[in-house]
Structure 1
Amino acid sequence: MSDNIVIIGGGQAAFALSAKLRALKDERPITLVSAEAVPPYQRPPLSKKYLLGEMEFSRLLLRPEAWYHENGVDLRLATFAEEIDRAACTVRLQDGTLLSYGTLVLATGATPRTLPAALGGDLAGVHVMRDKRDADHLSGALLSGRRVLIIGGGYIGLEAAAVARHRGLEVTLIEMVDRILKRVAAPETADILRGVHARHGVTIRESTGLARLIGRDGHVCGAELSDGSMLDVDLVIVGIGVTANDQLAKAAGLDVANGVIVDAYGRTSDPAIYAVGDCTELPYGEGRVRLESVQNAVDQAESAALAIRGEPVAYVPRPWFWSDQYDVKLQIAGLNQGYDETLVRPGARDGAASVWYFRAGRFIAVDAVNDAKAYVTGKKLLDLGRTPERAILADPAADLKVLLA
């Protein structure tokens, strides 16, 4: 059997795993296979500073291409894996190349959901936002004065709205359910961000879906909404979530649910195959979850590297996320799934606030809007497994440091 470690995927998790193995002095050959034509890079700035033209792509690279050569990582760009043969321990690439592995790691990420052709999803001018190619295509379309329709009121849609307004476009955002951020945040957080976007001139229409897009000469030019109203549009950005890239794993007979099922060490149902990052469903608390975040991609990948090295340490997720919109930084610690109580605490300066989540009396998450102190305190409390006193939280004059004493 080969001792080669093959990593399928070219994102943050793939890089983090290869870098951690080298930091652990693992000298086995590593082959990293990426469908993209560029080395692994940071994705979050793509929809923010890169799209605004405030950051060169070279600054997004996790390491220069020379790093891979210097560290013995065989970087295969602009190619992808088509099939895993678990019996032979090989991966077949699209050009027919067979890679033998002793350990295989799936870091295949996720793919944005798109609109079906029946709704006009195949028209030119309809965009999604996930990778560099998406950002480059979208950047050329974000011209001042144009009219953009954003479909989806999650974080991707709201971030896209902020960038579009910054670049001078007329923005309408539609959300088919009764409020923005319904799946990921409390009404109080949604209210804060809805107000922010309203002040910046974004039209948000909730309880409004898309009936169809209208094209002219193959390019989108309008939209019919679920309430029968019509919009003239020059481009459309679709932000309706992502799906795990688990097709390769499923075809190979690995256990798959909402992503590739892994244990606390990143191991799949095949002991020779690991999976990390956005493509995985992993243990969390008493259940399982799929976490789409840089933090999880890095931490889970580094934990898997330890297991591959023979030094297993169970990965206990401590989720945190962030979103930048205009001059607003939203920082989130924990997961609010199943919350049954919230408490809103005003921040120390105008526009700052935090929303604290509880489930069965226990503190589980915090959303901090321009309130770094609330975020840091909440994150530390979660790490310590503590539930803060409501009276202190509810008193805007109280010092949050008391909660950590």
Structure 2
Amino acid sequence: MATRRSGIVVIGAGQAALTLAETLRRGGETRPITLIGTEVHPPYQRPPLSKAYLSGGMPRDRLWLKPPEWYAEHEIDLVLGVEVTAIDRRRSQVVLSDGGVRAYGQLVLATGSRPRPLPAAAGGDLAGVHVIRGIDDIDRLAAQLASARAVLLIGGGYIGLEAAAVARGLGKSVTLVEAAPRILARVACDRTAAMVRDLHLSHGVDLREGLGVARLVPGADGAAAGARLADGTEVAADLVIVGIGGIANDALARSAGLRCGDGSGGVCVDAFCRTEDPDILAAGDVALFDIDGSGSMRLESVQNACDQARAAAATLLGREEAYAPVPWFWSDQYDMKLQIAGLNRGADRTLLRPGRRPGTGSVWYFRASRFVAVDALSDPRAYMAGKRWLEERVSPRLDQLADPAVDLKEVASDPVDVPA
């Protein structure tokens, strides 16, 4: 059995892995720390990939979370371009694709998630079909996007909508299809979706909701040339971007016998980021955990990657701090910034509060009269107020919140009974 002096090995080299390593060093951890990543790139920001980086507005080196020399200065062994093929819990070591092994005293799974692919039976394996996840994905996409004329987006979530905005900004003809009855069906209410829909329609996107793709249609060169939709109509396109959700990279954990979730997967952890193996933790996109006593879920966001990694670091440092997040997210589309605080699942009431300018505003979610989330569309004041109320565990007075004449600073709030 490896001793704890064997050090801390992190499988993954993204935002969660880096935050964990940095927090450990700041907290006085002196054991060896190793980050193992399958990509050849050092840890980098992912949110700009589908926005500024794809559009050409951000150079690659600005994506790096730390300069290359930082890792050596902090005695962090960064192992890149190598895959972990197995976790040997009995020997407390991981097996690498290059034939090597790394012993661990404690192991952290920060393996993230991957885009859900369009099935090969539907043409997902054709050339010209892209997903958005890493730098290499975007580099391949950007090279083809430059010469593309017609772009087809499959999926009306954040990724698809952001990519649609970038493509329209580059002057491309854009069609977006969403199989669900409306866009943002999994993450926002119909009021928020309506405002986002109007935004895209105003920019010339051909938006088709409640209509799935039956199959992509190949052209003479074998690459995707469009799609046949579920209603029999066809859409021409010389570039296809698929954004239909994500799947947790939990195969290593499953093979090692750790408990994982169904559906989109995830490694089950407690409030302290621990799996059922006391020497193995998980954080970030791959972690499946209970939030606010209302059921387990994964959070795919920068906020969760960073905050949960800090909680995992506290556990490793022997300073256990239960992770009870107030999640927040954002999405940039054209000149609109959508900012979200909280989780709207289970909400039974929404309230629309107009913004100061046309096309702006906020949507407030309540569950059993308890305030649980806010969507702010180019309305930073609403976002900051909602986030503060969630952090303070209070609910705004509905009658005042519903009155746009009452400034948000003047809206009174009442404490609510929420789990600690």
* Short-chain TM bin: over 0.9
CA distance in 1, matches of 2:323, 2:181: 36
Q: Of residues 360, 365, 383 in structure 2, which corresponds to 1:375?
A: 383
**What are the within-5 Å matches in structure 2 for residues 197-208 of structure 1?**
197-208=200-211
- Matched to 1:233, the amino acid is A
1:100 lines up with 2:88 in the alignment: no
> Residue 190 of structure 1: SS of its match in structure 2?
helix
1:218 offset after TM fit, Å?
2.2
Cα distance in structure 2, aligned partners of 1:116 and 1:343: 38
Q: Deviations over 1:76-101 (max 9, x none)?
A: 00011000000100000001101000
Q: Which residue in 1 is equivalent to 2:332?
A: 324
Q: Distance in 1 between matches of 2:197 and 2:59?
A: 30
Structure 1, residues 181-235: CA drift from partner, whole Å, max 9, x if none?
1111000000000000001000100111001111132211121000100111101
The equivalent of 1:315 in structure 2 is 323
Partner of 2:212: 209
In the TM superposition, 1:191-340 aligns within 5 A as: 191-216=194-219, 217-257=221-261, 258-286=265-293, 287-340=295-348
Match of 2:405 among 387, 391, 397: 397
Instruction: Please state whether the residue corresponding to 1:310 is helix, strand or coil.
Output: coil
C-alpha separation in 2, matches of 1:7 and 1:403: 45
Q: Is the 8 A contact 2:400 2:412 kept in 1?
A: no
CA gap 1:199/1:111 in 2 versus in 1, 3 angstroms:
same
Q: Is contact 1:377–1:404 with CA below 8 Å preserved after alignment?
A: no
The superposition leaves residues 330-381 of structure 1 with CA deviations (integer Å, 9 ceiling, x where unpaired) of 0000000011100000012232100000111111000000000000000011
Which residue in 2 is equivalent to 1:76? 79
- Whichever residue aligns with residue 259 of structure 2, its letter is D
CA distance in 2, matches of 1:222, 1:104: 45
| Deviation of 1:145 (Å) | 5.9
- 2:20 is matched with 17
Quote the residue 1:360 is aligned against: 368
- Residue of structure 2 aligned with 1:91, choices 91, 94, 104: 94
SS in 2 for 1:256: coil
Quote the offset at 1:163 in angstroms: 0.5
After superposition, the C-alpha distances for 1:259-294 in whole angstroms (9 at most, x for unaligned) are 000011110010000000000101211122211100
1:118 to 2:125 alignment: no
1:344 and 1:390 map into 2 onto residues whose CA distance is 11
Shift of 1:404: 5.8
**TM-aligned CA deviation for residue 317 of structure 1:** 1.2
Per-residue deviation, 1:143: 2.6
**Structure 1: tracts of 5 or more residues without a match:** none
Show the counterpart of 2:144: 141
- Structure 2: runs of 5 or more not aligned: 414-420
Aligned counterparts of 2:142 and 2:201: Cα–Cα separation in 1: 23
Partner SS, residue 54 of structure 2 = coil
3-state SS, counterpart of residue 324 of structure 1? strand
Cα distance change of structure 1 residues 314 and 124 upon mapping to structure 2, 3 Å threshold:
same
Aligned Cα root-mean-square deviation (Å): 1.0
Using the alignment, how far apart are the partners of 1:356 and 1:284 within structure 2?
Answer: 19
TM-score by length of 1: 0.98
- Residue 384 (structure 1) aligns with: 392
User: Which letter maps to 2:166?
Assistant: V
Distance in structure 2 (CA, Å) of the matches to 1:183 and 1:288: 16
In the alignment, is the contact (CA less than 8 A) between 1:381 and 1:404 conserved in 2? no
Taking the aligned partners of 1:166 and 1:144, their CA distance within structure 2 comes to 14
Q: Which residue identity is paired with 2:126?
A: L
Q: Deviations over 1:131-189 (max 9, x none)?
A: 10111111111136611110001111100100110111100000111111111100000
Q: Is the Cα contact below 8 Å between 1:150 and 1:171 reproduced in 2?
A: yes
Aligned to 2:9: 6
Larger displacement relative to structure 2 (141-150 or 318-327): 141-150
Q: 1:186 aligns with which of 186, 189, 193?
A: 189
> What is the total number of aligned residue pairs between the two structures?
405
Match of 2:29 among 26, 29, 40: 26
Distance apart, 1:254 and its partner CA: 0.5
Deviation at 1:35, TM superposition (A): 0.5
Q: Residue 144 of structure 1 contacts residue 169 of structure 1 at CA under 8 Å; is this kept in 2?
A: no
In structure 2, what residue type is equivalent to 1:218?
Answer: G
Report the Cα distance in structure 2 between the residues aligned to 1:404 and 1:100, rounded to whole angstroms. 55
What SS does the corresponding residue of 1:184 show, helix, strand or coil?
A: coil
Q: Verify the 8 A CA contact 2:92 2:104 in the aligned structure 1.
A: yes
Alignment match, 1:39 = 42
- 1:29-70 alpha-carbon deviations (Å, 9 max, x no partner): 011100011100000001111111111111111101111111
CA–CA separation in structure 1 for the residues paired with 2:16 and 2:196:
30
Please give the per-residue CA displacement for 1:268-324, whole angstroms capped at 9, x wherever unaligned: 010000000000101211122211100000000001101101111111111000000
The equivalent of 2:175 in structure 1 is 172
